[in-house]
Structure 1
Amino acid sequence: MIRRFGTAPRPDKRYTMRPGAYVILPRGRQVLLTHQQDPEPEFQLPGGGIDAGESPQIALHREVFEETGWSIAYPRRLGAFRRYTFMPEYDLWAEKICTIYLAHPVRRHSDPLEPGHSAHWLPIEEAVTLLGNPGDRHFLAQLL
């Protein structure tokens, strides 16, 4: 059974399963986060949804590059959690299955490609308090 973080599912909503891959990218005592401006400003672990026919690892590399401009290496799965949320950008009530990885940031190639995203190196202690969802905070706090 996968641990749930955040609010319980609402009985009046139908949720669509949405698997995703997310990563913790430490460098010394800092970690690379993405900041998404819309629909609500929020710091997040880089990553996102796994497209149909895409492996979690391919999705992870793609999403990190789109959201931060960085390439990564040696992703290692740490665990997973579920959360129930409304995704206004898709007009979708989602049951997100979030698989969390730990990887090495290799090289910055560009600014983030995804509109409304920016990449930020933050001290791990600060990042834990700024992350927008409790599942991300839980996995990052394990590094402290």
Structure 2
Amino acid sequence: MRRFGEPVKSGQKYILRPGVYAVLPREGSMLVTHQMHPYTEVQLPGGGIDPGESPLQALHREVLEETGWRIAPRRRLGAFRRFTFMPEYEIWAEKLCHIYLAQPVRKLADPTEPFHTALWMPSEDAVEELGNAGDRHFAASWLNG
């Protein structure tokens, strides 16, 4: 599986954190989330898969929490791993990131996830602004199709 981001730190213990994220295009734009804490970053909407939850259940829940939008998943684009420190949980994590292409269907509410704002950006700009290389890779792969 392809790996992006920081190299693995020798001797560092990592906790496996499976997650699911969505590339959300619509009419030349892409719906992304702007996270403002613990650091500022533009991200693909998504997050951790809770125990007992399927990846698609987690995708619907996370996108709704971070953007306020209902989605219709289309297909799985792939997966990648990255090793990183997660300051909000104070852990070193091996993030196993599953990426889906989905269609934003309807805005239901404002984001409920603290410190997140939903943003519509031109797709090309969104790809450039995404804060991690794995997100950029999958969004660019979809865009360049």
Q: Tell me the SS of whatever aligns to 2:71.
A: strand
Aligned residues: 143
What is the correspondence of 1:47-86 to structure 2 with a 5 Å cutoff? Answer: 47-86=46-85
Q: Aligned partners of 2:10, 2:73: CA distance in 1, in Å? A: 40
Matched residue, 1:36: 35
Structure 2 unaligned segments of length 5 or more: list them: none
Query: Residue 59 of structure 2: SS of its match in structure 1?
Result: helix
**TM-score normalized by the length of structure 2:** 0.96
* Number of the residue aligned with 2:106: 107
Tell me whether 1:134 sits opposite 2:105 in the alignment. no
Matches of 2:57 and 2:139 in 1, distance apart? 22
Paired amino acid for 1:87: M
Q: CA deviation at 1:75?
A: 3.4
Q: Summarize deviations over 1:116-143 as a string: whole Å, max 9, x none.
A: 0000000111111110000000011111
Following the alignment from structure 2 to structure 1, what is the Cα–Cα distance between the partners of residues 89 and 37? 12
C-alpha distance after superposition, 1:87-125 (max 9, x if no partner): 011011000000000011000011100110000000111
The CA distance in 2 between the partners of 1:47 and 1:32, in whole Å, is 12
- Give yes or no for contact 2:73–2:100 (8 Å, CA) kept in 1: no
Shift of 1:12: 2.7
SS at 1:104 equivalent: strand
SS of equivalent to 1:135: helix
Q: How does 1:116-135 map to 2 (within 5 A)?
A: 116-135=115-134
Distance 1:32 1:23 in 2: 9
Alpha carbons 2:23, 2:102 under 8 Å: kept: yes
Runs of 4+ that moved beyond 6 A: none
RMSD: 0.7
| Unmatched tracts of structure 1, length 5 or more | none
Q: Distance in 1 between matches of 2:74 and 2:45?
A: 13
Measure, in 2, the Cα distance between the counterparts of 1:37 and 1:136.
17
Alignment of 1:16 with 2:15, yes or no, is: yes
Shift of 1:76: 1.1
